[in-house]
Amino acid sequence: MTTFFAQLEQRAQAIDSLLCVGLDPNPKDFTSAEAVRDFCFRLIDQTSAVALAYKPNSGFFEAWGAAGYQALQEIIAHVPAGIPVVLDAKRGDIDSTAKGYAQSAFEVLNTSSITLSPYLGADAIQPFLSYADKGVFLLCKTSNPGAGELQNLEVDNRYLYEVVAEKAQSWGSADQIGFVVGATDTEAMHKVRVIAPNSWFLVPGIGAQGGDLEAVVAAGLRSDKLGLLISASRSIATAADPLAEATRLRDAINAAREKFSAKPFTTSSDLEAVARALADAGCVKFGSFTLKSGKVSPFYLDLRRLVSYPKHLNTVGAALANLLSKLQFDHIAAIPYAALPIGVSASLQSGRSLIYPRREAKAYGTGVNIEGVFNTGDTAVLLDDLATTGETKIEAIDRLTAADLVVKDIVVVIDREQGAADILGQAGYNFYALVTLNQLLPVWEQQGYLSADHHAEIKRYLAADHV
């Protein structure tokens, strides 16, 4: 027996596509259910070469009554063998009713998977999971404008959608359960990916709803370049040439996959290992600290301490080596002082050359300002411990380019998410962070290094700092 998600992965790899073609025929545009059926038949025939899956929205068919339901059944049957179908029905009801919905979807309509509402709990989902070869996508963070009214409610210092993603891990495995995560909130997508590193996400909101494709891929792509079923409906259906538009979208998704495929972690346990290493080395402290700016902060980061803890330094270095393996460069250029020992660890574990820009100009000996061996025109990836605004990175890049080195990529251990990514991106550089502060905080709380109250205080501090 091949499960739905195994089938999805096999086809994704076979045709090199993550594109889901939505079938959303608005009743106002048609005269009959038969016209709807014929339209969807043509759309399937035109796009099947590039579609990873099809997603008919049941509401547009149910509007036609019994004739619409019949059309939906015929449309699902018309999809070529081997192409998964996701019934976008958003069902959610008590156990006995859920059994009826499951039978309708999986036995009568013969769809491959279905979207479900998780808000009645596990017993409302189990009837669908009893079909072992089928899949479900649970609504987690949807793409509609009002999604945040409920899904962004805070529960124990987390958003409700995070609770849904975490709770669902106990209902079934990633072979059974995926999540609907809209393209319109990539911060949420990133959070859910940390919670569910192996799951597939059904991603509406690209195209007519204005989702940023590259941001979606950067936030949600798994380390194997899979895990996102990116849906587009109206933009394909209304195109003069649906195949050309579907192909364009498929190619745009693949280009984004290549650009943002450097994912440092494959499992949540890897993130936990780095978080624990940083905490055990004392690189993070919680309390009250006066910063250079005069502000009082409820936490303090100091990655220079890693040099005194070889085991923890190697943990961070190994994760960095994995990230760096996805980039093309000749040398790691580590910024003194904190990033220099970290760069040495990453260099030793990746086998890549290390150089570093001196902080002070050298007025004696060889007089070089870049230490290490390199050639004119070589490419260096800049490595630092932290990123706040990105200004110090630009200064270091200036010293490297003055020595005729080329810098395209910047890597940091921790991104404080205070604007560095935007500033460096606008300057033309690719920016990668091993972890972000918002990734680390909930893990540190789970590991017992950070209390729930102090976590909430830090979140308020960071929110105020962005105002």
> Taking CA 454 as the corner, what is the angle to CA 451 and CA 458, rounded to the nearest 5 degrees?
135
Q: How far apart are CA 299 and CA 416, in angstroms?
A: 12
How far, in Å, CA of 247 to CA of 242, rounded?
8
Active site residues: 90
Structure-block tokens of residue 399: 């010293």
Handedness of CA 216, 218, 219, 224 (dihedral sign): positive
Q: Of 152, 188, 157, which is closest to residue 455 (Cα–Cα)?
A: 157
H helical segments located in 21-80: 33-47, 58-62, 66-78
DSSP letters along 302-339, please?
A: -GGGGGG-HHHHHHHHHHHHHHHTTS--SEEEEPTTTH
- Report how far apart the first and last C-alpha atoms of the chain are (Å, whole number): 53
Cα–Cα dist 201/272, whole Å: 22
| 389 closest CA partner among 367, 350, 347, 417 | 417
Q: Which residues contact 412 (CB under 8 A, 6 or more apart)?
A: 383, 384, 385, 386, 387, 420, 431, 432, 433, 434
